[in-house]
Amino acid sequence: MDRVTKETADGSLLGGALAGAAAAAAGTLAMNYAQRLWTLASDGRAPISAADEHDARDWQERSEHQNANELAAQAVATATIQRRLTQRELSIGARVVHFAFGAAVGALYGAYVQRHPKHRTGVALGAALWLTADEIAMPVVGLSRSTRQRPLEMHLQSLAAHLVYGVTTEQVRRVMTSR
């Protein structure tokens, strides 16, 4: 048994957080591909994005012609290195922002379900993340337009992708922790 699995099986919050973060990397990747499949099915072509299919913001690019992960990466760069990122740097930065956020959420979820195993459900994780991040926080902090300005399909595409994230994260976490 590896260290993460042993710590998690023993009930460690740290072990739960580590398992959640690692599982969320798989969830984030699955989310990216779910977004891309939806976009290709509805539009027949992918939007242009610095991080290509690895930032899961197809719905936003399709409706707003901007991308929250790219905006966040540029904001971090401006605050830390006092300049905007080049296109190549932005390609990496947008991916880092998306995967880091996904892993952070997964770590919180993993620690929480370590202490409250009856509450572990990927559907609830995905739905809660969609509501709090995409529907509330992103517009509030200026990383997307108001949710009232989005077509219904964009809400549904984002919700579906977040459900894929949540279910994948929980399934991988369960395998890692044997719970």
- Taking only the tens place, the pLDDT of each residue in 102-136 is 999 999 999 999 999 998 899 999 999 999 999 99
- pTM confidence score: 0.88
For 176, phi and psi rounded to 5 degrees?
A: -65, -35
Residues 6+ positions from 67 with CB-CB distance below 8 Å: 49, 50, 51, 55, 57, 60, 61, 94
* pLDDT at residue 5, as a whole number: 47
Q: Is pLDDT at 60 greater than 90 in this prediction?
A: no
Residue with tokens 């517009």: 139
